Amino acid sequence: MTSGPLQRILFAVYIAVFFLYLLGPLMVMGVSAFNTPQYPQVWPIEGLTLDWFSQLFADQDMMYGLRTSLWIGVLVVAISVPIGLAGAIVMTQIQPRVRSAYYLVVVSPVLTPGIIIGISTVVFWREFTTMTGTRFLYDGIILTVIGQSSFISAYCMLIILARLQRFDQAQQEAALDLGASYPQVFRHILLPFLQPALFSAAVLAFLSSFENYNTTTFAILSEKTLTTVLAGRVRQGSTPAISALAVIIVAVTIVGAIAYELWKRRADAAAERRLRAAQAAEESELSGTAAPMAA
């Protein structure tokens, strides 16, 4: 829609404003992580320092919370990806007349506010562990993993389902005709086909778990994760050490995004090469068989 010069200028202004709004606050916070004043300050720059970073790493609670967060992230991946996979496969096999009801139930956690998932998890497991005499299961880390898994499994299911719907049934039929059993088809045909989706689901599950606050703050009980420690620190008052943490997270994200981009390009190039090699082989085969027939 950008035809006239005026429209083009207006659109450029809009893009600039949009990204200023999106990135400006992060940049301001980033600068304050290197400035010396006690209160996060951008201007004037009174002196450059890395003290806030060392203060951050010296913060015992923060480091403890980070370890717990990483643990919870790993456990959530280990639970959510298999559940999401099972949920997606069941979606394709369940009787059509109950499919929409099933879909409604398993997608509902995505549309439920996080605090409600946290609350209901705590309420249920408190009663359940009391009734069954398994009070040791009433633990902040276990409850957080369960609570987060409810919606993260749904994310995983949606990602896996999107790829599963492109699965060519002919592949499965070919394998069955060649004498493979159904479990062998699952292991050797379906899982390799779904592998990229499983990988994306795992990455998304870990990141969603790591940055989650709403569900975690209810389900964590007396334990601490990075986000709950952070919330406590921010409530007590602003310090540039918090800005320093944000700088680290942004840096890790950028490195991760670039690494993922490179990995994807390599994978795409490899797939391209394989395709071309297969085509070349097919052509030579065809000309090879065609030649004797002509002779």
Q: Least CB distance from residue 245 to other proteins, whole Å?
A: 7
Site for other proteins in 228-247 (CB under 8 A): 230-231, 234-235, 238, 242-243, 245-246
101 is an interface residue for other proteins by CB under 8 A: no
Does residue 237 come out as left (phi exceeding 0), alpha (psi in the -120 to 50 range) or beta? left
Q: How far apart are CA 136 and CA 146, in angstroms?
A: 15
140 is an interface residue for other proteins by CB under 8 A: no
Q: Which one of the spans 49-57, 60-68, 122-130, 287-295 is the region binding other proteins (CB under 8 A)?
A: 122-130
| Orientation of helix 60-93 relative to helix 226-236, angle to 10° | 130
In this structure, what DSSP letter does residue 151 have?
H
Residue 283: exposed, middle, or buried by beta-carbon count in 10 A (0-12, 13-18, 19+)?
Answer: exposed
Q: How far apart are CA 7 and CA 289, in angstroms?
A: 61
Site for other proteins in 29-58 (CB under 8 A): 29, 32, 39-43
Of 269 and 278, the one with the shorter C-beta distance to other proteins is: 269
Q: 38, 60, 93, 287: which one contacts other proteins (CB under 8 A)?
A: 93
CA distances from 134 to 125, 127, 139 (A): 10, 10, 11
Q: What letter represents residue 79's amino acid? A: I
Q: Which one of the spans 13-21, 48-56, 192-200, 277-285 is the region binding other proteins (CB under 8 A)?
A: 13-21
Q: Exposure pattern of 201-227 as b/e (b: 16+ CB <10 Å)? A: bbebbbebbbebbebbbbbbeebbbbb
Q: How far apart are CA 88 and CA 161, in angstroms?
A: 5
Q: Which one of the spans 49-57, 117-125, 277-285, 287-295 is the region binding other proteins (CB under 8 A)?
A: 117-125
| Orientation of helix 51-58 relative to helix 60-93, angle to 10° | 70
214 is an interface residue for other proteins by CB under 8 A: yes
Site for other proteins in 236-295 (CB under 8 A): 238, 242-243, 245-246, 249-250, 253-254, 257, 261
28 is an interface residue for other proteins by CB under 8 A: yes
Q: Percentages helix, strand, coil for the chain, rounded to the nearest 5?
A: 85, 0, 15
Of 130 and 279, the one with the shorter C-beta distance to other proteins is: 130
CA 223 to chain CA centroid, Å, is: 23
Q: 68, 121, 144, 209: which one contacts other proteins (CB under 8 A)?
A: 121
Q: 119, 141, 175, 180: which one contacts other proteins (CB under 8 A)?
A: 119
124 is an interface residue for other proteins by CB under 8 A: yes
**3-class SS of residue 35:** strand
Q: Least CB distance from residue 50 to other proteins, whole Å?
A: 18
Q: 23, 275, 280, 286: which one contacts other proteins (CB under 8 A)?
A: 23
Q: 16, 116, 174, 280: which one contacts other proteins (CB under 8 A)?
A: 116
Of 40 and 140, the one with the shorter C-beta distance to other proteins is: 40
